């Protein structure tokens, strides 16, 4: 593969874009190219870079592109609303329709608010939880990502020599420039350890306004909750009067129309959604119990946003959910069956080349790890794996024509086909052959 045009464009862009990118997450995930890639087109399951290299895409914009690139039904609905105007500093019927749809589908959604990104939405959730409980502290889990603001960008991928004892973790800053005071209000724990959670909540539950988690830890190895874990957390948070917030920015509308809360049958007090909700258009949702959400107007808890519920994003959300709901949810059966086939195929390829591989997650979102078979339950176990090996394999895979996220997560879309999966498995076999001989 050649990357000359991307290199030229990167050098041009870097004169104006800091570091040549618009998000730090876009360093990495560019395979064997020496620079972050520039892209010219996305169509269905494929993306094309500036040098004309075509990839089967499982990065899917880091998750949102659940209907594939440029899905016609969404584009048509968006285009049909463009002449209506974009923003009115007021409400639209479309917005109320989408709100009703989400409240009908999502168990915890008695009331919702729209926003534009996951990062801002978790801020509203945390603020509401503090107002509701009159408490200051927030509990989050190592390896869980909830956006990049000071008060929650904590212990997402901390160095293992800084995290302290498992029973008494240290909340680790994730970026220079982060206020050390922001960290004082964050209690961090390893995930998936119910006994430890119960013990900490017994001692400190009265100070904790909210427990925030990804109900499937998609950002760190697509780790699933251990049986009984979510149920236990639900019970304990209820007993302590602590607000339970599920960050469903990835799992929402991806693992099913009712999100992970529907899949596992555990209803949090609040949840946030984004990504797959609008197939690539910037739309996020804050959802929750009426008693908490109503504080936005009865107690004037502040939530704003110029672009909230803009017409384009709402139209995209309506069209996306329409597609995902059609034919009794056949979209999910399709993605799940292709994803499971991929997982199985990758396992077999790894075993043929005597590589140890554990694949975690579900058909719609999964993460292969070069680790001895067994369940990776939390960030500390995940961080102990040799990720450099995985990155080398993915660089080879991308050169063969299949792209996954920089972290190693694979997302499926309704646009992926059996042929895509078979081709991807050929790419993986080719990449594994080179990788194993290195
Ligand atoms: C679980 C989770 N929460 C929150 C966010 C932040 O969302 P955004 O990038 O839309 O601000 C992300 C982004 O990847 C995420 O994966």
SS3 for 86-97 is CCCCCCCHHHHH
Answer yes or no: is the C-beta of 220 below 6 A from any ligand 1 atom.
Answer: no
Answer yes or no: is the C-beta of 119 below 6 A from any ligand 1 atom.
Answer: yes
pLDDT at 163: 97
Answer yes or no: is the C-beta of 280 below 6 A from any ligand 1 atom.
Answer: no
Mutate which of 116, 249, 254 for ligand 1 pocket (most atoms within 8 A of beta carbon): 249
Q: Tokens 């961080």 correspond to what residue?
A: 383
Answer yes or no: is the C-beta of 252 below 6 A from any ligand 1 atom.
Answer: no
Mutate which of 215, 250, 411 for ligand 1 pocket (most atoms within 8 A of beta carbon): 250
Report d(CA 32, CA 23) in Å as an integer.
Answer: 20
In order of start, what are the domains of the chain with their CATH numbers? 4-70+329-437 (3.90.1150.10), 72-322 (3.40.640.10)
Q: How far is CA 53 from CA 7, 21, 91, 152, 300, in A?
A: 13, 20, 43, 38, 52
pLDDT at 29: 82
Between strands 208-213 and 243-248, the pairing is parallel
State which ligand 1 atom lies nearest to the alpha carbon of 118: 7
Among 308, 352, 362, 361, CA closest to 88: 308
Answer yes or no: is the C-beta of 214 below 6 A from any ligand 1 atom.
Answer: yes
Q: How far is CA 235 from CA 73, 145, 375, in A?
A: 41, 23, 25
Along the 438 residues of the chain, how does pLDDT read in single tens digits?
999 999 999 999 999 999 999 999 999 888 999 999 999 999 999 999 999 999 999 999 999 999 999 999 999 999 999 999 999 999 999 999 999 999 999 999 999 999 999 999 999 999 999 999 999 999 999 999 999 999 999 999 999 999 999 999 999 999 999 999 999 999 999 999 999 999 999 999 999 999 999 999 999 999 999 999 999 999 999 999 999 999 999 999 999 999 999 999 999 999 999 999 999 999 999 999 999 999 999 999 999 999 999 999 999 999 999 999 999 989 999 999 999 999 999 999 999 999 999 999 999 999 999 988 688 999 999 999 988 888 999 999 999 999 999 999 999 999 999 999 999 999 999 999 998 888
pLDDT at 320: 98
State which ligand 1 atom lies nearest to the alpha carbon of 122: 4
CA of 387 to the centre of ligand 1 (A): 22
Answer yes or no: is the C-beta of 146 below 6 A from any ligand 1 atom.
Answer: yes
Mutate which of 146, 215, 276 for ligand 1 pocket (most atoms within 8 A of beta carbon): 146
Answer yes or no: is the C-beta of 45 below 6 A from any ligand 1 atom.
Answer: no
Answer yes or no: is the C-beta of 116 below 6 A from any ligand 1 atom.
Answer: no
Q: How far is CA 83 from CA 70, 80, 255, 311, in A?
A: 20, 7, 34, 10
Among 112, 146, 143, 104, CA closest to 128: 112
Mutate which of 120, 126, 147 for ligand 1 pocket (most atoms within 8 A of beta carbon): 147
Answer yes or no: is the C-beta of 245 below 6 A from any ligand 1 atom.
Answer: no
Answer yes or no: is the C-beta of 42 below 6 A from any ligand 1 atom.
Answer: no
Q: How far is CA 151 from CA 89, 140, 167, 174, 197, in A?
A: 29, 11, 22, 11, 21
Q: Note whether 336 and 413 are within 8 A (CB).
A: no
Answer yes or no: is the C-beta of 247 below 6 A from any ligand 1 atom.
Answer: yes
Answer yes or no: is the C-beta of 274 below 6 A from any ligand 1 atom.
Answer: yes
pLDDT at 394: 95
CA of 117 to the centre of ligand 1 (A): 7
pLDDT at 294: 98
Q: What is the DSSP string of 252-314?
A: TTTS-TTHHHHHHT---SEEEE-GGGGTTS--EEEEE-HHHHTHHHHS------TTTT-HHHH
Does pTM surpass 0.85? yes
313 dihedral zone (left: phi>0; alpha: psi -120 to 50; beta): alpha
Answer yes or no: is the C-beta of 57 below 6 A from any ligand 1 atom.
Answer: no
State which ligand 1 atom lies nearest to the alpha carbon of 62: 14
Answer yes or no: is the C-beta of 68 below 6 A from any ligand 1 atom.
Answer: no
Mutate which of 26, 28, 29, 118 for ligand 1 pocket (most atoms within 8 A of beta carbon): 118
Answer yes or no: is the C-beta of 250 below 6 A from any ligand 1 atom.
Answer: yes
> Is 116 strand, coil or helix?
coil
Q: Note whether 111 and 287 are within 8 A (CB).
A: yes
């Amino acid at each position: 593969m050649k990357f000359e045009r991307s290199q030229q464009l990167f050098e041009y862009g870097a004169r104006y874009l800091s570091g040549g990118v618009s998000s730090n997450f876009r360093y990495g995930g560019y395979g064997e190219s020496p620079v972050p890639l520039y892209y010219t087109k996305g169509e269905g399951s494929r993306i094309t870079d500036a040098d004309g290299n075509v990839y089967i895409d499982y990065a899917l914009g880091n998750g949102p592109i659940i209907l594939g690139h440029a899905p016609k039904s969404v584009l048509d609905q968006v285009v049909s609303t463009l002449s209506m105007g974009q923003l009115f500093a007021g409400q639209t019927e479309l917005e109320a329709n989408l709100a009703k749809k989400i409240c009908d589908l999502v168990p915890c959604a008695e009331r919702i608010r729209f926003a534009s990104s996951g990062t801002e939405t978790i801020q509203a959730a945390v603020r509401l939880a503090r107002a509701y409980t009159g408490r200051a502290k927030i509990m989050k889990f190592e390896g869980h990502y909830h956006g990049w603001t000071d008060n929650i960008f904590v212990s997402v991928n901390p160095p293992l020599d800084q995290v302290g004892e498992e029973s008494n973790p240290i909340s680790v800053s994730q970026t220079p420039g982060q206020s050390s005071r922001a960290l004082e209000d964050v209690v961090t724990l390893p995930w998936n350890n119910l006994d430890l959670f119960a013990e900490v909540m017994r001692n400190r539950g009265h100070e904790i306004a909210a427990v925030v988690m990804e109900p499937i830890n998609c950002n760190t190895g697509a780790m699933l909750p251990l049986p009984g874990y979510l149920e236990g957390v639900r019970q304990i948070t209820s007993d302590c009067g602590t607000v339970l917030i599920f960050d469903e920015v990835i799992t929402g509308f991806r693992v099913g129309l009712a999100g992970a809360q529907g899949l596992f049958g555990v209803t949090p007090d609040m949840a946030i959604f984004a990504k797959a909700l609008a197939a690539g258009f910037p739309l996020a949702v804050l959802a929750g119990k009426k008693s908490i959400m109503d504080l936005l107007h009865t107690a004037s808890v502040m939530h704003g946003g110029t672009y909230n519920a803009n017409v384009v994003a709402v139209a995209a959300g309506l069209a996306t959910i329409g597609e995902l709901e059609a034919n009794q949810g056949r979209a999910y059966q399709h993605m799940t069956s292709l994803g499971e086939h991929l997982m199985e195929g990758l396992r077999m390829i790894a075993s043929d080349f005597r590589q140890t591989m554990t694949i975690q997650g579900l058909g719609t979102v999964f993460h292969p790890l070069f680790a001895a078979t067994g369940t990776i339950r939390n960030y500390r176990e995940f961080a102990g794996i040799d990720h450099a090996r995985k990155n080398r394999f993915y660089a080879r895979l991308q050169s063969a024509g299949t792209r996954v996220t920089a972290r190693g997560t694979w997302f499926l879309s309704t646009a992926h086909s059996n042929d895509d999966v078979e081709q991807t498995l050929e790419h993986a076999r080719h990449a594994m052959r080179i990788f194993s001989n290195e």
